[in-house]
Structure 1
Amino acid sequence: MIAFVARILVYGSAVEERERGQRALLVAQSVAAMPTVQEALLRPDGHTLLQPVVERIRVVNQVDYIVVLNMDRVRYTHPLSSRIGTRLEAADAGPAFAEHTYLSKEKGVLGTAVRAFVPVIDRDGRQIGVVLVGVLLPTWGAMLAAVWRELAVTAGAALLLGAAGSWLLAWHIKRQIYNLEPYQIAQLFEERMAVFNAIHEGIVAIDAQERITIINEAAKRLLGITGNPVGQPIRAVIPDTRLPEILHSGKPVFGQEIRVRGAHIVSTRVPIRSGGRVVGAVGVFQDRTDVHRLAEELTGVKALVDALRAQNHEHLNKLHTLAGLIQLGQTREALSFITQTTQEQEALSRFVLKRIGDPAVAGVLLGKVSRGRERGIRVVLDEASCLETLPDGVSSYDLVVVLGNLLENAMDALETVSQKTKRSMCALTKRRMRCPSPWPTTARASPQRSCRACLSGGSRQRETRTGGLACPLFGRLWKTPAARLPSTRLSGKEPCFTSPFRCGNRAHDREKGVGRTMEVIRTLLVEDDPLVCDVNRQMVERVPGFRVVGMARDGFEALRLAKAVRPHLVLLDIYMPGQDGLTLLKTWRKEEADIDVIAVTAAQDAPTVETLFRYGAVDYLVKPFRFERLKAALERYRQFRQLATGKTVEQDDWDHLRGGIEAEATLPKGLHAWTLQQVEDLLAASATPLTADEVAAGLGLSRVTARRYLDYLNRLGRVRLEMEYGTVGRPAHRYRWVGGSPA
């Protein structure tokens, strides 16, 4: 209101100044044009003539003063008679004596006045004087007093309208916020945040630009997020939540199992709509890693129980047969029966234990073989079968359930077959799983169409002879990243399918001489120095098969991060702020965490080293260390995992690993045991001596590197150097293997 009044006064002052200035200028021009004024200025006593005339003009035109000056600036007229005949000493009067007409504003004793200066020109065009007319400007108080009634009416009307508008706005806002007061809104917000963070499930919401708008503490803990990611793109923070898919499809997804940063997550994702369009998406995430682990353990126990029950039944039948043969006096046949049964069982057990690395899968296969014998069906495992590592996104539990159901369905189907010999073939190769098809086929539905209908949820038949549980289970696994649609074909009257899984057996691949898929070892770095941690990360990721999944600054952060990313290996520093490495290692061992540790530290005191190895550290690297030393430690750890993940460990395999460790430690600088083994294998396999160029080409090495390994073997006496002389030039150096079978 004050600003409004001030604006009015400022505007009124400007208008008043302009109007009074124009009036003063007109009066000054009128006086300057009067012949009486011109004549009086030419006379020494002209003031006696001008003063009465000019004073009347001043009163009539309501100006404050009119001053007539000659060219010497002497006053001829003035409202105060005492100033007549005196000089005008005004700074703003100079241009007027140079024939200029203008307005000026001057502050005097009576107040601020606007003054008009007009030159007096005689008939000959000469300037003979100046007419000065001044009008005092009104003060702020005077202007306010002149318009106070209008201002009072305007202010009153504005106050009434403002009050009415405020009441209407408050009423509308209260309706929008359900008649809540501000303190109630604050209390609701605090309660909402408390409930939101108390929810055990992780909740993440994004907007239409894929930026995170809401995330609770459970989601941060579950997904391994530190800090506040609100406002950041979700693809940069959590790339595998699949929330952005909901923005594009606009369709909700309920209870879908996904893998986020290595953890089994059950996700429900729904779009957020406003005005009929999708403006965001919200996801609810539940950790099912522990449930999956428990399910895998229970599945393994169930498979073991089924296998023991079937084997017990089969064993009793064999004992009955053996007892009958002995009682009939057919001892030769009894001995032959014992020998044949023992050999078959040993061959089957040896085959499964060697080729199938997962204990649960091996157990279900042995159980189904025994189950088939119990039901008069021969379950045959293809000789090319092998399975050591599971594909990404497929757990042991999933594969056991699907495989068990497929074989059980096949045996159920064979019970309806009238032929005497019944056989069910199962193959687990390094590229695919192949079993009898669980999908029903009819005259109207081809095997491929039945397969697609079953996987997409169109077939819900449950009973054993139509696919059983394998259909929905396989349909879920089909949607994993490692999957593609199974191919179904008919062999005679027996439908079969090929699974989408790609598996591999490293030992079997080495025997066959084919390439193999390297297991990715998830590695966690625990180091308080960010620069050292980044250097270690770069060195680890230079070693094939290792991927850094997280970096922690102290033991507390590492403990939380390990539960989220579930690493295989931890590169652990000892001296750190907060919780040190030794305490962290003891905590993991107390919790029986499935984590291996390589100590990477500057600690060299014997008690620390002894404690580290007592609590299961697989290696110990003292800072600073060379990249070759770290690479050797990581490669030895990978070999150790290959042995440890197998069903059995042969003495030769363990001796080879230990020998490789000792050889690595005793080799000259720059030579590596693995490359040396490759050179020895190449020389031993060649019937003719080889040159350094041929060895380099065969192994993908440089000629200089190959020559260094050959010279080292020559010094050990494991190769013999032979000189081959040609017609011209220097003789060629050829190396013949003489050291027997390579180690």
Structure 2
Amino acid sequence: MARRPAPASAASRMFAAVAASVVAIVLILVGVLVVDAQGSERSEAEQVTRSVAAALAALPEVESVVGEPDASATLQPVAERIMRESDLDFVVIMTPQGTRVTHPDPTEIGRTYLGTIPAEPSTLTEEFVGTLGPSVRSIAPILSDGRLVGWVAVGVTLGSISAEILSRLPFVLGIALLLLAAGLVGAVIARRQLRRMAGDLPPGTIRDAVASYESVRTLGEALRAQTHEHGNRMHTAVSLLELGRTDEAVEILTETSRQSQSLVDQVAARRDGDPTVGALLLGKAAQARERNVAWDARIAPDAPRSTLAPIDAVSVVGNLIDNAVDAAATGPAPRWVRVEFDPVAGGALRIRVSDSGTGIDPADRERVFTHGFSTKPAGAEGRGVGLALVRAIVDGAGGSIRITDSPTMFEIVLPGRRR
């Protein structure tokens, strides 16, 4: 029987994720730099062609010669010199009707200019396909005493612009390689640090370990509160008995039994309940009363059992209740927490935990599920882990979670377990 390959460790997955992110960022950066260089070169070509065209059109020797029959013999050398000195691909001087007087290809002299000639004497910049291919060109009027006597067109082919961009590529690639190397080094360091903490454990195992810790912590706090509450009441009852106040002692013990029995009856009445979560609710009820927060738990008898493992169920319910009790205890009176387990369509389980606290800022609705985010000061056990773990467990089980206002309520829907 073929053995399944071992799942990749969390450290390896982190390295792969960070490395992939670095590569993606570098590729995007290279693309942005290339596009920026292309835009910069095109903008520079437009400025240069407009400036040269306007300057050449304003030369007195051009203005005085362009209309003469032998203008080509005088102006062609001028155009060629400007092309050499300015890295321009063409300088075309023409008559008002567009007949070329100069051109990089002497055989084109005397032919009609290919491009847009403005209806009025004004400078125009455009991209046009001429005898030299597509180019960025500017055309400027040659005026004599306000009268149009000719045109000057100056242009740079797109091929020349691309060549300029290619000359910048080594610099861009050098930056990209440096960033890539720095990112990969960071990924290696992150993998080493995570491997020191988690070894070669896969992510699922690490999450289970965190869930286990959270479950033990919340159960421990619940049991401690329950033990403390029962201890206080028992001590009070014993003291009353010693004082001969039997009726008051019996009343305290009866009330203690009644409060616990009410929740026990709801848990026991469930058709397919989870005893671990039931025990958690009993402890959390005592913990809420210890903090002067009214407790209300409503469990429908036909509420199904979720597909979560007991340790995950305790993490989800325990963390939501802890947050609700914290919010209620520091909020305005009356202070209360309500927990509801109900069935929904499709055999799913709906868990609602609401409280009387001041609520959650709408801007923080999604941030509260981010690891490390918390609106409360950090304690010895750390903050910002519980709700992130709740989201991870719920998402992993194929469930959903949402937050509503008035009152603040966390609502979770989990797939129900088939009996």
TM-score by length of 2: 0.46
User: Using CA pairs below 8 Å that are at least 6 residues apart, which structure has the higher relative contact order?
Assistant: 2
| Structure ranking higher in helix proportion | 2
